[in-house]
Structure 1
Amino acid sequence: MTSFASIFRSLIRSSNEPRQPYKKYECQTYHEEHCTICPAIALRYEAEVKLKDRAFKEFWSKNRLPGEPEPLAASPLGRRYRTNSKRRVFTTREGPLLGFTEMDRSGRIRPSDVIDCPIEPADHSRIYNLVQQFIDDRSGRALGRELNYVIVKGSYEQLTVLLSLKRYTPSLNTLINQLSKTITREVKPVAGIFSFLDEHSRYYMSDKADVSPQGFRKIFGTSEIIETIAGNKLAYSPLAFSQTNASLINWMVQKAAEFLKPNPQEKLYDWYCGYGVFGISLAHAYKTVHGVESSLEAVESAKGNASRLKIPNVRFTCARLDRGTVLKFPVGNETVVILDPPRNGTDQGVIEWLAEGDIKKALHLFCDTDGIPKEIERWNRCGFRPVRVLPFDMFPATDNVETMVLLEPID
Structure 2
Amino acid sequence: MKLQKGQIIELKIEKIVYGGEGLGYYNNEFAMFVPMSVPGDILKVEIISLKKTYGRALIKSIISPGEERISDLNRLTFEDFQGCDFGMLNYESQLKYKRDMVEDVVRRIGKNSIVNIEETLGSPVESNYRNKVIEPFSLNGNEIITGFFKRKSHDVFQVEDNMLNSILGNKIISKLKDILNKKKISVYDEKRHKGLLRHVMVRTNSFNEAMLVLIINDTKISENIKEILKEVMDNFKEVVSVYVSLNDRKTNVALGNKNILICGEKTIKEDISGIHFNISPTSFFQINLEQTRRLYELAISMFENIENKNIVDAYAGTGTIGMILSKKAKKVYSIEIVESAVKDGIKTAKENKIENVEFICGDVNQELGKLIKAEAIDSIILDPPRKGIDEESLLNISKVGIKEIVYISCNPSTFARDIEILEKEGYELVKVKPVDMFPQTSHIEVVGRLIKK
Q: Which residue of 2 aligns with 1:192?
A: 241
Name 2:291's counterpart in structure 1.
248
Displacement of 1:403 after TM fit? 0.5
Question: Quick check: 1:165 aligned with 2:237?
Answer: no
Equivalents in 2 of 1:294, 1:245: separation in Å?
Answer: 26
Q: Check the 8 A contact 2:430/2:448 in 1, yes or no.
A: yes
Answering whether residue 88 of structure 2 is matched by residue 17 of structure 1, we say no
Deviations 1:96-147 (Å, cap 9, x if unpaired)?
Answer: 65232222xxx44322222211122222222333333344345422789234
SS in 1 for 2:433: strand
Tell whether the 8 Å contact from 2:149 to 2:157 is kept in structure 1 after alignment: yes
Residues of 2 paired with 1:22 and 1:79: CA distance? 19
Unaligned stretches of 5+ residues in structure 2: 1-16, 24-34, 41-65, 190-194
Deviates more, 1:67-76 or 1:308-317: 308-317
Q: Following the alignment from structure 1 to structure 2, what is the Cα–Cα distance between the partners of residues 153 and 184? A: 14
> Larger deviation: 267-276 or 142-151?
142-151
Aligned residue for 1:361? 404
Separation of aligned partners in 2, 1:228 and 1:22: 40
CA distance in 2 between counterparts of 1:324 and 1:203 reads 31
**Contact in 2 for aligned 1:368/1:401 (Cα 8 Å):** yes
Letter in 1 for 2:67: N
Counterpart residue number, 2:32: none
Moved more, 80-89 or 332-341: 332-341
**1:81 equivalent in alignment to 2:129:** yes
Offset at residue 314 of structure 1 (A): 1.0
Q: CA deviation at 1:367?
A: 0.8
Distance (whole Å) between structure 1 residues aligned to residue 144 and residue 76 of structure 2: 20
2 CA distance for matches of 1:3 and 1:354? Answer: 29
State the shift of 1:390 in Å: 0.6
Amino acid aligned to 2:127: R
Shift of the 36–142 alpha-carbon distance from structure 1 to 2, 3 Å rule, reads closer
SS at match of 1:81: coil
The match for 2:103 is 57
From 411, 414, 419, the equivalent of 1:371 is 414
In 1: Cα distance, 2:158 partner to 2:258 partner: 28
- The number of equivalent residue pairs is 391
Is the 8 Å Cα contact of residues 309 and 331 (structure 2) preserved in structure 1?
yes
Secondary structure (helix, strand or coil) at the match of 2:150 reads: strand
SS at match of 2:38: helix
Amino acid at match of 2:213: L
Q: Which amino acid aligns with 2:112?
A: L
The code of the aligned residue for 2:157 comes to: S
1:155 lines up with 2:205 in the alignment: yes
CA distance in 2, matches of 1:143, 1:134: 17
1:203 is displaced (CA, Å) by 4.8
- Counterpart CA distance in 2 for 1:167 and 1:148 is 10
Q: Is the alpha carbon distance of 1:304 and 1:69 closer, same or farther for their aligned partners in structure 2, counting shifts above 3 Å?
A: same
Supply the distance in 2 between the matched residues of 1:272 and 1:7 (Cα, whole angstroms). Answer: 35
Residues 256 and 143 of structure 1, relative CA distance in 2, 3 Å threshold: same
Shift of 1:55: 4.2
**Distance in 1 separating the partners of 2:231 and 2:329:** 48
1:147-176 Cα deviation digits (max 9, x unpaired): 43222223242221223333322xx33133
Structure 1: gaps (5+ residues): 206-212
Shift of 1:246: 0.6
CA contact (8 A) 1:234 1:305 kept: yes
Residues 1:141 and 1:121: Cα distance change in structure 2 (over 3 Å): same
Q: Equivalents in 1 of 2:411, 2:259: separation in Å? A: 30
Q: Could you state the TM-score of these two structures normalised by the residue count of structure 1?
A: 0.82
Partner of 1:209: none
1:388-403 → structure 2 map (5 Å cutoff): 388-403=431-446
1:98 paired residue among 123, 127, 146: 146
2:228 is the alignment partner of 1:179: yes
Does the C-alpha gap of structure 1 residues 375 and 126 become closer, same or farther in structure 2, counting only changes over 3 Å? same
2:175 to 122, 130, 153: 130
The amino acid of 2:223's aligned partner reads T
SS of residue matched to 1:82: coil
2:52 is matched with none
Aligned counterparts, 1:325-336, within 5 A: 329-330=371-372, 334-336=377-379
Q: What is residue 382 of structure 1 aligned with on the other side?
A: 425
User: Quick check: 1:259 aligned with 2:309?
Assistant: no
Amino acid at match of 2:171: R
The structure-2 alpha-carbon separation of the partners of 1:36 and 1:123, relative to structure 1 and needing over 3 Å to count, comes to closer
Letter in 2 for 1:34: D
Task: Give the corresponding residue for 1:71.
Answer: 119
| 2:450 matches 1:407 | yes
Deviation at 1:12, TM superposition (A): 2.6
Q: What's 1:141 paired with?
A: 186
Percent identity (aligned): 21
Q: For residues 91 and 118 of structure 1, do their structure 2 counterparts lie closer, same or farther at Cα, with a shift above 3 Å needed?
A: closer
Say whether the 8 Å CA contact 1:28–1:115 is kept in structure 2: no
Rounded Cα–Cα distance in structure 2 between residues aligned with 1:190 and 1:374: 43
Judged with a 3 Å threshold, the aligned counterparts in structure 2 of structure 1 residues 126 and 154 are, in CA distance, closer, same or farther, namely: closer
Report the residue type matching 1:37 in the other structure. G
* Distance in 2, Cα, partners of 1:60 & 1:367: 14
- Following superposition, the deviation at residue 389 of structure 1 comes to 0.5
- Residue 44 (str. 1) matches residue 90 (str. 2): yes
Deviation at 1:46, TM superposition (A): 3.1
Larger Rg: 2
Deviation at 1:354, TM superposition (A): 1.1
